[in-house]
Amino acid sequence: MTTLNTTFNEKANTLFINGPFTCETIARMHPTMVRLYEAARTLKNLETPTDVARALNQSQQTVNNWERRGMSRPGMIEAQKHIGCSATWLQTGKGSMTYDESIRTANDSADGLSERINLLLQEPDVRPAALAKAAGVTQETVSQWQSGSIKTISLDQAVGIQEAFGFNAVWLVMGKGLPRAAVYDDPRPRPVPLKTAKPKKKDPEPADATPLTYQANVAKYREIPVIGRAQGGLPERIWTDGDYPVEATQQFAEAASADPLAFLTPVVGLSMIPRFNPGEFALVEPGTEPELEDDVLVRLNTGETMIKRLLSRRQGIRLGSYNDPEVFTFDPDAVTWMYYVAHPVPARKIKTRL
């Protein structure tokens, strides 16, 4: 029988080290933070983690968490805005360190949806017919978007365009953020590389060569079930004594997770944009203890269920959002359970059992 941890054991925060960056400290950090500190020193002459936290309007604890787990997507956008480094470079290490100011955000535009659609159609691989197919509309609708006759676009239509071409759905709908999505899995086929001659085998390393000091990730992809909804629809108990999920649907996704109790739940509402967008699914890992600044799935004794950010456990459990300034505070006795949310899963990854 598997037992879930439903208590809220408060962990002591790791000591925040505020010394200048050194080779020794950089080597232990997540690659996105190595790049952030490199950009901070090069572009803004910032020498310590406190300097970087202050420049990004973040707490020291948040920056400390980033060093271990990597920067969040909103954090990369803030770094691009305040330090001048490219969010794409922070995430992938590819391209220029500095942000290309020729890419204007929709917030700087006064022409609304018409300008955003025309910006899309300037891309060489985006044609009106392909754009209409991705959005699920007619070419006439695309023409009306271009001319400004139609001044709005639905979230479903924008998500279709994002999945096909990589343009940010929130930017298309609301004019907020950057044109390009922070994370984009291009579904179009990629060219097959030409076959090349196999390189000759190298001589074996000397016996006294320094061994590797890290372990590979052995998590395997497996079927993870979809359970309930992220707002008002999850049971008080997710798993039975026989290790069977309660209220599981016929849907699932093949994803990597080391937690045998992991499950997926649909995302609804706009409060967690851009981290979690409506129509996506959240990968929940009950076996991981949430820490401050983690995303969590919370069920209250009233039956209400929500995805939020864990802000504090002092004087109650304080929860916040990415797209809403309101902060909720709950007594621990009012919370049935609170589980760690690993990351979003696109809707196209969801499959249905026949």
Do 254 and 231 meet the contact criterion of CB atoms below 8 Å apart?
A: no
Same domain, 344 and 235: yes
Q: What is the CATH number of the domain that holds 263?
A: 2.10.109.10
In this structure, is residue 195 part of a structural domain? Answer: no
In this structure, is residue 138 part of a structural domain? Answer: yes
Same domain, 253 and 337: yes
Same domain, 229 and 334: yes
Alpha-carbon distance of 324 to 66, in angstroms, equals: 22
In this structure, is residue 13 part of a structural domain? Answer: no
Alpha-carbon distance of 71 to 320, in angstroms, equals: 18
Q: What is the CATH number of the domain that holds 130?
A: 1.10.260.40
Same domain, 160 and 280: no
In this structure, is residue 236 part of a structural domain? Answer: yes
Structural domain containing residue 60: 23-92
pLDDT, tens digit (0-9, with 9 covering 90-100), for 187-234:
555 555 565 666 666 666 555 545 444 443 445 678 888 887 544 456
Whole-prediction pTM: 0.40
Last residue of a domain, one of 57, 92, 127: 92
pLDDT, tens digit (0-9, with 9 covering 90-100), for 33-49:
889 998 888 888 888 88
Helix (H) or strand (E) holding 281: strand 281-285
pLDDT confidence bin for 295, thresholds 50/70/90: very high
pLDDT, tens digit (0-9, with 9 covering 90-100), for 252-287:
888 888 888 888 888 877 878 888 888 889 889 988
Closest CA to 157 of 178, 146, 143, 142: 142
In this structure, is residue 131 part of a structural domain? Answer: yes
Torsion of CA 343, 345, 235, 219, to 10 degrees: -70
Closest CA to 265 of 220, 297, 308: 297
Same domain, 330 and 231: yes
Same domain, 32 and 72: yes
Other beta carbons within 10 Å of 337: 20
Same domain, 127 and 166: yes
Closest CA to 175 of 112, 104, 85, 101: 112
One-character DSSP codes across 125-156: T--HHHHHHHHTS-HHHHHHHHHTSS----HH
Query: Which SS3 state, helix, strand or coil, does residue 249 take?
Result: strand
In this structure, is residue 155 part of a structural domain? Answer: yes
Closest CA to 297 of 350, 227, 348, 239: 227
Residue keyed to tokens 């343009």: 167
In this structure, is residue 191 part of a structural domain? Answer: no
> What integer is the mean pLDDT of 68-94?
85
In this structure, is residue 206 part of a structural domain? Answer: no
Same domain, 228 and 346: yes
One-character DSSP codes across 180-204: B-SS----SPPPPPPP-PPPPPPPP
**Is the sign of the CA dihedral 6, 8, 12, 18 positive or negative?**
positive
Query: Which SS3 state, helix, strand or coil, does residue 340 take?
Result: strand
Reading the block at residue 45, the tokens are 């002459």
Looking at the 3D structure of the chain, how many domains does it have? Answer: 3
